[in-house]
Structure 1
């Protein structure tokens, strides 16, 4: 296909222009590369390459100023601001940087459009004086300072720009203004130099002045790229700027306007796809590329245009592996590199000075992919050791010394990561630079396999070197918070450039990179309102009406810029795929762009419009089934011989798969750090405290004196067991202090209940505390021995009746220890698990001949102490008026034994698989 660049070169050749002596000026460097590629198609002999510049390069040459990054401009501006502002009114650098960014953008616009600076700043000051509280007779200090700021804007501008000009540096707008100032001198110095401007659309006043002046002096030619369809339609924004240039430039009154083309009206295959979510768009782009490749279409002349450049990474991950040649014109954002998360974590850790670090922050850093290898020393994984120690000892906060104690041989790395920055910017930058060097030294060991990681390290080293330079040169960074802000500002502007052959294969680029370029097949993503076009945004101190008055660009002009780029891509393309997001993602998406609606309403091309939804197969929920193999059966026999506990049996009743994981695979729950004391920890503390109190009383009758003595030891015993169970966790404040007090209250309330029982004339004798039981039971159907084992919290004798008691720190009601039908005991976990447990304890104690029937068994619930001893009961019939049998007799044990043996038979039956229950 003939591209716009080729057509321009051909026209110049036909007019006998010596291309070697021409200076080509294009909107971007990228376009210059494609122009150089097209030259051999036009020139048949060997010639010197012409000078090819982007407009920014040409303007810099005119101005003799060097552009500086935005971050450095903020530092320079703060110098000027500080010199003109009283110390008591001076903002900190961090506060200043927030509003200075906007003001710099306004300075840039004012200069690029050659607006008389004093006039507009005085105008803005007058507007603020009218808009605010100046009509009040007595202005407050706040109002005075506010208005004083606006009155100083011109002084800020003047002082700042003079400072930059003295250093021969500038921001874009200042460079443009200076270029216009130097234009006459440039023309006089280059009276025969020919310039060719091509592919431009929206021009600021500086660019217009420069180009028109060169045209009037016969030192330039200009080639526009606009289609007749757009130019003839006065309402079509694609030609908004071109129509103005054609109508108002003096040059075109006597010279032809090149060019008005008619490519857009030619037949095109346009498909519009609505795809849910941004990731859906990326995946569909991959699918389209795969289809294009299968249809034997060469991707040499194909471009993927990303309306939203944040889609770059998902799109790269979605490109088919069969595509070998790929060129990416935009860089990979440095903020998306894994190393960025490490330094963000370090800033988060050290931003607030502290001697103790939150365990999650510590684990986040030592688990990082670039840090973990540094902590592997002499075949010891100190990162794992640190995490394990933190979890086991319940460290919620740790200091550097504790970390060094745990990872003694990794002390140097621990120092780099966790030494206090002490609000010292120099210390912070020094530690970060040393850390970068340590990571580099590790990666250098296997350099060949770590090339990409080394590239990451190199770019971050450059970034921190720049931070060091800015800090030492300007001295405006006073604290870590400000350093973090400057770091993020630098990080957001830095990219990791891709390397590849720029003219081969599939092209992936942003909308602005596509200027002047033509492709046969294009795929445009994120064609949504708010993205293409970007919509209304006014990040400026200059009001809308003032912008209109001074011919400064507003959202209307910005929309026209996007419109031109969009339609220009369509002009020469044959196959066009437009993709938009059908779902609302945060603030964007959901509404297709007006460009799509405009294409539909124009009626020039037929649009194939489809809504694409990802294929979502219906996945029927399948319950997990574990077959009982011979090896598994052997494991079961081993478990049976070691002994089933009541809790493991109720676990099987609840869900056989959980029993399989716990008893066969021996999978334990992961021990995380308990920031807040967990319910099971509270239960353990209460149980252990009561064991301490009652175990020495075995064989004794309880008395008021004994119980009162126990009450005086509650604080000491509960504290001891909290330290034992909760390790180094803090119970002195917050929720943990409340839970600590609850534990003491539980024990105190229980002892008060015991006291009341004794005072009411009851006799209680302690028979056993935390009694271990392990008994063998005979099951004829099984040819191997089976044991039942468990620990009973308490066995006592109350008024001559033996009681088997299980403590529960949760809330248990009477109906949870009652049953109607024996067969339900092993079927419904929620209703009958507690009955099953206490009957198991009674059964074990009967078989071990530690008790004689009849007995009572039940639960004491610490959250329901008012109900007292909740006895197990067998009901005759449903309903609250049914007769309840609370005595556990031989008949009770016989009925329970049948259900228990059936349950064990089911567990050990090789023909019955472990089948997951729907919970």
Structure 2
């Protein structure tokens, strides 16, 4: 395969052209590098290398001005805007940037296409005057301001142009306009041959430059487009070149350099649909794995989307030993970028205190946790143990050692919404991290860090030169703006091995084997984008590019890549994902419809193998070690909650009580149900504990009611630590806790009118032995009963529940169900367990009642345990006697035997 660049050079050499004196202009720097490589391969003797420019560099040479980036243009524009706009009508910098970016883009297009800006903007202002929605006279202030903006555009344009040219600089479009104006003077002073190679969509300024040089016979332009497309005047690939062949006067006198005839030749084109970007990357890896070293040398992978770079790099097979990546690694994907993003967001949104999750996300970041080491864990444990939701800057900084303080201070000291302080803090953070990375010889980390150092230096210089940034938010906007354009270049051999590039980097280059990814609508071609103030019809009238021309550019690049290729793989994403429709590109349909006779087209749909996973219930066999742990638990005592945990799911019992795995302690932002329960229980314990073995009186209850707020506040402080209870949901829960106590004490007052109540036990610890002949080790049951009282001569065992419990949850029909259905019978199991332990301690006089007081169902009063003979009958036995406890003991022993039986594994229950 003879590449386009090689063919051009051969023609120039054969025409005895002095190559060393020739000036080559190509679409990109990369194409220029390939030209020099091809030239060195073709040369039979030593020559001086010719001058090679990209088109952007060439316009700078002609205009004798330097291109400035979009950020500096924006800052300069704001300076101009403030000078032109009356002070009372001026917007702050953040508001200004919202519309100024689009306007600069439009200025750029107007200059690139050499449009008379005064006529253009007057036309645009008239359109807006016709379009505005107000017909009343006189016009409102809003409408007047709206129209004044459009009428100010010529002044903005002139002011910005003058400001930039004063420093001999300009945005890209302005440089192009200057170059087109200076081309006559340039041509008079330069007689060397200029050779333009591989161009397609030229703007008006470029066309004027090229035509002038052609007409003065000091230039040639070589077009790279197959005659198949040139002859098809309806094909988008030939839209621009056919237009130039028709409109340029120079082609009336001489023939265009256009003699490409490769597209009709034999090609193997494989069109493959694959779900997701990761799927494309993995499939690409499989394709490359089948290629030998020589074939890889002639292969290019073209990525339609930048986001595919990392998945593709992670999917490359081992046989890819040499790799040249034209695309840079986006700086925003560097691991440390997330740390700076986090700090920006925290300092934008934080008032006087920092939210604990924000603080943890910063100190837990890999870049900091490697430096802070154990201090991070200690600090997080402190937050969790003290249940601190909001932290002051002083609290955070004082929690770390003197060695760590400079880094922590830079992260968490108050930046006072000052961009200058923020930039100083970021540079301090970078310096601290650099010290650590140097000591650990982390070269990649240092490379990333250096680029951020350069980025923040640039922001500092901009902030010093243009004092427009007034807040952290505006600084963050520009940080993101600059970072989106920054990338780290990969080191590699540019002409050896597999070539990995984006679509624009492929301009003027040819490869035998091509793999193009993400050939989807919205990617190739990229579709419509609306960042412009210029209406579509106005663009058409002034021959500015619209989405149609943009699509034609992508069409040209796509088909030009295919012209000389022999083997082509076109991959597209079949999945609907976010804004991507999963629709394959129109280019693929065109390939099928316009199929050349020699082209071999194949279609395939590929999807990853997904093995069927059976959701089998897990089980854990009881090893000797597990049995030892169970014996230890039995000797300590099974609690009713442990036994009901086994009933609910044996695997939960195994994790929690055998392995000792507990839920990780976390900061409780909103008061949890168990914390509310603890507060209510502990408050009642403090009230009632001094009354053990005494009669309860209304005087006692009224004294308790007077102390509700004091007691609840104390218990929240004890159980909820530093958690805030004076706002949001927590304030509501705090009030609920007070309401629970008040309602309960009111219920007690009502009872005392008809009942004599003697308090026997409050929060009493119970423990009793369960003798089981089948087990040769001691078994105990233990627990803490909330309250035991004597009401009108009957002993009552009471369990408090802050959740809602209804009467049907504390009744039983068939004893065999007691240890099998957690939802229905766990409450009955618990109160019977407490009753059994009290009987074993000889502290019960029958008859006995046991039950629950539900704080969410206080109107039902004391919910007594009941034994029914039939499910739907209302008749039930509420008095607990020895017969009921014996029946319960039978089920209890069966359950404990099952837990302690070595041959019965812990089996997961299906939920």
Q: Give TM-score scaled by structure 2 length.
A: 0.98
* Mapped partners of 1:321, 1:451: distance in 2: 24
- Report the equivalent of 2:233: 234
Secondary structure at the residue paired with 2:790?
strand
- Report the equivalent of 1:158: 158
1:631 is aligned, of 625, 634, 644, to 625
Matched ranges for 1:729-808 at <5 A: 729-759=723-753, 761-808=754-801
- Report the equivalent of 1:343: 340
Q: How far is 1:133 from its partner? A: 5.2
- Report the equivalent of 1:182: 182
* Mapped partners of 1:853, 1:537: distance in 2: 84
* Mapped partners of 1:342, 1:318: distance in 2: 27
Structure 1 contact 653–826 (Cα < 8 Å) conserved: yes
- Report the equivalent of 1:492: 484
2:905 is aligned, of 894, 913, 916, to 913
- Report the equivalent of 2:530: 538
- Report the equivalent of 1:373: 370
* Mapped partners of 1:49, 1:157: distance in 2: 41
Matched ranges for 1:427-442 at <5 A: 427-442=421-436
Give the direction of change, closer, same or farther, for the CA distance of 1:870–1:322 in structure 2 (3 Å limit): farther
Cα-to-partner distance string for 1:412-470 (whole Å, 9 max, x where unaligned): 222111110112221111111111111111111122xx101101110000011001000
- Report the equivalent of 2:327: 330
Cα-to-partner distance string for 1:828-860 (whole Å, 9 max, x where unaligned): 111111111111111111111121333111111
Give the direction of change, closer, same or farther, for the CA distance of 1:824–1:297 in structure 2 (3 Å limit): farther
* Mapped partners of 2:387, 2:325: distance in 1: 48
Task: Return 534-543 or 355-364, whichever deviates more.
Answer: 534-543
Structure 1 contact 375–383 (Cα < 8 Å) conserved: yes
- Report the equivalent of 1:203: 202
Matched ranges for 1:545-560 at <5 A: 545-560=537-552
Structure 2 contact 299–512 (Cα < 8 Å) conserved: yes
Matched ranges for 1:332-481 at <5 A: 332-352=329-349, 354-376=351-373, 381-409=374-402, 410-447=404-441, 450-481=442-473
Matched ranges for 1:837-856 at <5 A: 837-856=830-849
Q: How far is 1:18 from its partner? A: 2.1
Cα-to-partner distance string for 1:583-619 (whole Å, 9 max, x where unaligned): 2222223211111111111132342112222211110
Structure 2 contact 813–867 (Cα < 8 Å) conserved: yes
- Report the equivalent of 2:118: 118
Structure 1 contact 353–420 (Cα < 8 Å) conserved: no
Matched ranges for 1:41-190 at <5 A: 41-132=41-132, 135-190=135-190
Unmatched 5+ stretches in structure 1: none
Secondary structure at the residue paired with 1:597?
helix
- Report the equivalent of 1:870: 863
Task: Return 665-674 or 552-561, whichever deviates more.
Answer: 665-674
Structure 2 contact 397–412 (Cα < 8 Å) conserved: no
Q: How far is 1:727 from its partner? A: 0.3
Structure 1 contact 223–258 (Cα < 8 Å) conserved: yes
Cα-to-partner distance string for 1:187-244 (whole Å, 9 max, x where unaligned): 11112x0111111000001111111111111111111111111111121111111111
* Mapped partners of 1:406, 1:458: distance in 2: 30
Secondary structure at the residue paired with 2:300?
strand
- Report the equivalent of 2:608: 614
Q: How far is 1:282 from its partner? A: 2.1
- Report the equivalent of 1:668: 662
Structure 1 contact 374–413 (Cα < 8 Å) conserved: no
Q: How far is 1:297 from its partner? A: 6.6
* Mapped partners of 1:673, 1:32: distance in 2: 59
Q: How far is 1:134 from its partner? A: 7.0
Cα-to-partner distance string for 1:306-349 (whole Å, 9 max, x where unaligned): 11112212222222244221111111111111211111111111
Task: Return 465-474 or 210-219, whichever deviates more.
Answer: 210-219
Structure 1 contact 876–882 (Cα < 8 Å) conserved: no
Structure 1 contact 533–563 (Cα < 8 Å) conserved: yes
* Mapped partners of 2:64, 2:796: distance in 1: 98
* Mapped partners of 1:671, 1:504: distance in 2: 55
- Report the equivalent of 2:282: 283
Secondary structure at the residue paired with 1:226?
coil
Structure 1 contact 825–836 (Cα < 8 Å) conserved: yes
- Number of matched pairs: 908
Query: Quick check: 1:725 aligned with 2:710?
Result: no
* Mapped partners of 1:460, 1:581: distance in 2: 34
Q: How far is 1:545 from its partner? A: 1.2
Cα-to-partner distance string for 1:751-799 (whole Å, 9 max, x where unaligned): 111111111x211111101110112221111111111111111111111
2:307 is aligned, of 303, 307, 310, to 310
Q: What RMSD in Å do the two structures reach over aligned CA positions?
A: 1.4
Structure 1 contact 67–171 (Cα < 8 Å) conserved: yes
Secondary structure at the residue paired with 2:366?
coil
- Report the equivalent of 1:859: 852
- Report the equivalent of 1:508: 500
* Mapped partners of 1:136, 1:808: distance in 2: 69
* Mapped partners of 1:706, 1:590: distance in 2: 73
1:571 is aligned, of 538, 555, 563, to 563
- Report the equivalent of 1:701: 695
Task: Return 881-890 or 635-644, whichever deviates more.
Answer: 881-890
* Mapped partners of 1:684, 1:55: distance in 2: 75
Secondary structure at the residue paired with 1:298?
helix
* Mapped partners of 1:222, 1:539: distance in 2: 33
* Mapped partners of 1:408, 1:747: distance in 2: 45
Q: Give TM-score scaled by structure 1 length.
A: 0.97
1:646 is aligned, of 640, 652, 672, to 640
- Report the equivalent of 1:38: 38
Q: How far is 1:135 from its partner? A: 5.0
Query: Quick check: 1:715 aligned with 2:709?
Result: yes
Give the direction of change, closer, same or farther, for the CA distance of 1:55–1:332 in structure 2 (3 Å limit): same
Structure 1 contact 354–420 (Cα < 8 Å) conserved: no
Query: Quick check: 1:24 aligned with 2:21?
Result: no
* Mapped partners of 2:40, 2:462: distance in 1: 46
Q: How far is 1:353 from its partner? A: 5.5
* Mapped partners of 1:853, 1:135: distance in 2: 92
Secondary structure at the residue paired with 2:290?
helix
Cα-to-partner distance string for 1:280-314 (whole Å, 9 max, x where unaligned): 22222222222345xx7721111111111122122
* Mapped partners of 2:335, 2:410: distance in 1: 19
* Mapped partners of 1:646, 1:353: distance in 2: 46
* Mapped partners of 2:368, 2:895: distance in 1: 51
Give the direction of change, closer, same or farther, for the CA distance of 1:133–1:858 in structure 2 (3 Å limit): closer
Query: Quick check: 1:897 aligned with 2:896?
Result: no
Q: How far is 1:882 from its partner? A: 4.7
* Mapped partners of 2:600, 2:847: distance in 1: 91
Structure 1 contact 385–407 (Cα < 8 Å) conserved: no
- Report the equivalent of 2:256: 257
* Mapped partners of 2:792, 2:399: distance in 1: 55
* Mapped partners of 1:104, 1:587: distance in 2: 27
